[in-house]
Structure 1
């Protein structure tokens, strides 16, 4: 659920010419100074991404933290190292979380309890996280199995889904039992500066970026990443959802609200300049993907038949869920635009075709 699959909607090899002004990245237990009172750290993830970026903002005699890493012993040890080292043993004053995916919110409960600090997050992100965590240990619901059967999954894929269902909560330290609500356009003083909340959606329900005009910084979470396209998916809980329209609308809106001269602090890869160019590239990449998909639908196709026009790499069992969700996001977007229709056959499989 974290990220798209190698610039999923952007076949083209060209990318905007972003610049990366920082020469060094933080190692384990280290921090890099971004601006006065703002530090960049990394927590381990494993897998292709290897790490997530987290941020500390000086606040009085302590530190406000933005994003926390995935739950687990390795991340706990990472926090112990930076708290003792570059954060100088000072306490955590508040924990801000951009959105509810485990690599961002996973250790929020550890930090808030350790320092008796509040969690600050948007309402939909907190509630959605609690809901998904509650699935831990449950059997896969019939609605979900019908959803993936409709996408064209075979029995082996469905059995694999049954075996892996309910894994979301395993990436979480026990969540905080309460939160302070972030809302779009809130202005919050963190330490010496005011930070503005800029909400996006599509990758997650109510993703909060934090923009500081004084420092010309934007903590972008997964809303804008420099080298990968965040996953935008339809899930069994809302099979007719249109998150791609939400995503494209959110990106265009961020471009009007945050100036291009900010240094973007993303959750993955390195801080960069070139926010507006990157937003334009993300939007145009998805639009090109939609065009390719509409052309493919001159003949009826199942979800599993459309991967080749949206993704560069072969989709195996490990990527099947991500690819299905993101393909459905593009298909539902075409339906919402009146460019495609969906028809279910007698065996419960959905077929998509272009309307013109």
Structure 2
């Protein structure tokens, strides 16, 4: 294993570790192995983790349902896992790159699936949307955001795509809750639940190894998408996200090695969390000031995003913009009114952001 001590700096730093190629593993801590699988998106990879557990393995997250990913897993089974089976599969959350192959992998090994309840049930709900008609409530949600007919067409084409990347889940699972502790290879691991990016995101912390498997809850260079969706239009996931950043800042030691789902393992959890909080607070202040005059959801993209919103990013950008607007509405800083066409306009009702 190659590793490095954390540097004494306010910035994120990276241990000297090679990035694993497809079908390979890299040991990042004693008994903790890094696997990387491809994604067919702009974000072109996901990090997955294998934890040695005596004469078996615990796996964290799965990759998408995709031929190359399955072939890489077959290579790993033959080359690295040997006769030691995967007995437990832990899925951090319901997004396709994390849960996609859960059904296939548990079937391969006869493994038990471990997830939080909300993520498991919501995954099954989204899978049930495959091949269904777009609900009118969803069309209303995006019309209210200011979508024209072309944009509604983009959403219609997007709807139900979840099932393209996610296989059927096992019909039973083991529930994970915040504070759960269990042993892997004789060492305690603790479940820490994060919120905002997904409703009940499982993270894993091992105090003895000083390792934190973060999923998408803490990434080294990008901020995870925090969105409002038609299923719960008045949700406030951004408050959940900021609260979770504060929770992790208090819970994790400064020298913990963070194992993120994207990017490279890193040190510097505290400054990274502080920066994420500060960036969102600044975005909220900028958005509040921009809404001195009434604005639709689609009008605020330029304030929140550095890059232009394209057809490919429209749905996620809308969800994240709505998350920021909902935060300010529920903080009593903005109010929203609907015009005769049902389009929402947001404007200031007071000064500053609490």
Matches within 5 A, 1:83-102: 83-102=77-96
Residue 233 of structure 2 is matched in structure 1 by 239
Q: SS state of the match for residue 13, structure 2?
A: coil
Q: What is the aligned counterpart of 2:201 among 200, 203, 207?
A: 207
Counterpart residue number, 2:135 = 141
Partner of 1:257: 251
Residue in structure 2 matched with residue 59 of structure 1 by the alignment: 53
Q: Residue 323 of structure 2: which of 308, 329, 344 is its match?
A: 329
Q: Report matched runs for 1:13-28 at 5 Å.
A: 17-28=11-22
Q: How far 1:163 moved relative to its partner?
A: 2.3
Match of 1:193 in 2: 187
- Per the alignment, residue 66 of structure 2 pairs with 72
Deviates more, 1:147-156 or 1:72-81: 72-81
User: What are the superposed Cα offsets for residues 178-237 of structure 1, whole Å, 9 maximum, x if unpaired?
Assistant: 110100011111122110000011100100100000000000000000011100000001
DSSP 3-state at the match of 1:315: coil
SS of equivalent to 2:34: strand
Question: 1:16 Cα shift?
Answer: 5.9
Q: Give the drift of 1:84.
A: 1.3
CA distance in 2, matches of 1:43, 1:221: 14
Q: What is the TM-score with the length of structure 2 in the denominator?
A: 0.95
Is residue 72–residue 173 contact of structure 1 (8 Å, CA) maintained in 2?
no
The DSSP-based 3-state class of the residue aligned with 2:81 is coil
Structure 1 SS opposite 2:63: coil
Contact 1:69 1:104 in 2 (8 A): yes
C-alpha separation in 2, matches of 1:22 and 1:206: 32
Distance, in Å, in 1 between the alignment partners of 2:36 and 2:18 is 12
SS in 2 for 1:46: coil
**Contact 1:209 1:220 survives alignment (8 Å):** yes
Runs of 4+ in 1 over 6 A off after TM superposition: none
Residues 99 and 105 of structure 1 are in contact (CA less than 8 Å); yes or no, is this contact kept in structure 2?
yes
Is contact 1:22-1:271 (8 Å) kept?
Answer: no
Q: Distance in 1 between matches of 2:65 and 2:150?
A: 30
Q: Which runs of 5+ in 2 are unaligned?
A: 1-8
Q: Per-residue deviation at 1:89?
A: 4.5
SS at structure 2 position matched to 1:41: strand
* Structure 2 Cα separation of the partners of residues 307 and 132 of structure 1: 27
Native 8 Å contact 2:17 2:28 kept in 1: no
